[in-house]
Homo-oligomer: A and B are copies of this chain.
Amino acid sequence: MTREKLMNVQEFQRSLGESGLDAVVAVSQPNVFYTSGAYILTQVSIPDRLAMTVLPASGDDALLVCNIEESLARQESWIDDVRSYVEFAEAPMHLLGDVLKEKGLAQGRVGIEARRLGAGYYQELSEALPKASLEACDWLFDHVRSLKTEGEIQRFGEAGRATERAILEAFGQAKAGDTERDLLRTIKENVALYGATDVVFGILGVADQSYVPHPPARERRIEPGDLVRVDFGGSWECYGSDVARMAVVGEPSGVQAETYKKVREVERKAIEFMGPGVRACDVFNCVVESYAKFGIEYPGPHCGHGFGFETHEAPMLHPYNEEELRPNMLMCIEPVHFSEEVGGYQVEDLVLITEEGSEILTNYGDAEELFVIQ
């Protein structure tokens, strides 16, 4: 992995310079990966095994990991200065304090991911660096990561299309009488066939669960009349996806066909509306207005999100976000319609903001009508 393929280095340096911070420290798995190239899976599965990237405004970066992960870090990262601590014997925050002091930042302004670093660890760091000024810098990572590199646009686009294909083909392979879990398993097998290395989430909302946002798939058999909502995220190494498609078992009822058409129309209108300079909140308002024309109240709280190394990234498309869309943002748009009466409807696509407007990257099928499972 090269630094330039993964990370928007120019925007990072510009933002760090503008912030006036002397350094920023990444602690979350996606930000450590983004700023180092080392994909350390135990950061998620063993959350106390902290890994961190120290990124000074001037001087060399350092990657701090548990010694168990040192060989991986050296293999994967472009950062030469890899430091390690021995788990249980040494406190990761003491190592971080020492590295920051060594870089002359004992009294510096140091940006920390305050939303992600546990309060207990933050406290330890404050004690290790009593004269430093620790400041939340989540916003900086959010901002830089929202402006995708060419490498990200290509890989996330491929991941999205493969996911879409896997879902649509699974709809084609499914039949009435299969269990919900059978269908979910087929989708998982299909993404694996198209190269996915992992499944991040696989949501299957069927029939009376179609309008539950994130229900577990059941042993229940799908039967004629069932609405099938799939919201799926696979990953191709570190590049994930988030795509939603829908089907109905047997011929759709009039209400099902019409409701689906409305939901998809609202989604397409929002996509057409998106482009550089358009505010996130206005995309949300566009969805609210489109639904209002159908007499449907859109409850929110959002209608989509930036997409990247995390499922929800900045900019979030919610009513209070005045941030403007910019070229090279990758957006997932998903103005869902969930109702106990008609069921849960969701079409979700990956959209690139371009200089001219927007471009749908998940264009394997068109999803114009509800897929019919025979």
Contact = CB atoms under 8 A, between A and B. Distances in A.
A117 to B, nearest CB: 5
Nearest to A193: B185
Contacts of A321: 88
Contacts of A71: 211-213
26 contacts: A40-B214, A41-B214, A44-B44, A45-B200, A45-B201, A45-B311, A45-B312, A47-B115, A47-B116, A72-B214, A75-B212, A86-B301, A87-B301, A87-B318, A88-B318, A89-B300, A112-B119, A113-B118, A114-B119, A114-B123, A115-B120, A117-B119, A119-B121, A119-B123, A181-B197, A189-B192
Contacts of A200: 45
Contact of A199 (B86, B116, B199, B211): B199
A109 B47 CA distance: 26
Assign chain A's interface to a size class: 35 or more
Interface of A: 28, 39-42, 44-49, 66-69, 71-72, 75, 86-89, 112-123, 136, 138, 181, 185, 188-189, 192, 197-202, 211-217, 233, 237, 300-302, 310-312, 316, 318-321
A88 B319 contact: yes
Given A118-B119, A185-B192, 10 more contacts: A41-B214, A68-B301, A71-B212, A71-B213, A75-B212, A87-B318, A114-B123, A117-B118, A117-B119, A118-B118
8 nearest A-B residue pairs (beta carbon): A119-B122, A114-B120, A87-B301, A88-B318, A115-B118, A119-B119, A46-B312, A114-B119
Contacts of A118: 113-119
A28 B116 CA distance: 12
Given A46-B311, A119-B112, A216 B201 contact: no
A336 to B, nearest CB: 10
A301 B67 contact: yes
Contact of A72 (B46, B117, B189, B215): B215
Contact of A188 (B114, B121, B192): B192
Contacts of A39: 216
Contacts of A41: 201, 214
Nearest to A126: B119
A88 B320 contact: yes
Contacts of A181: 197
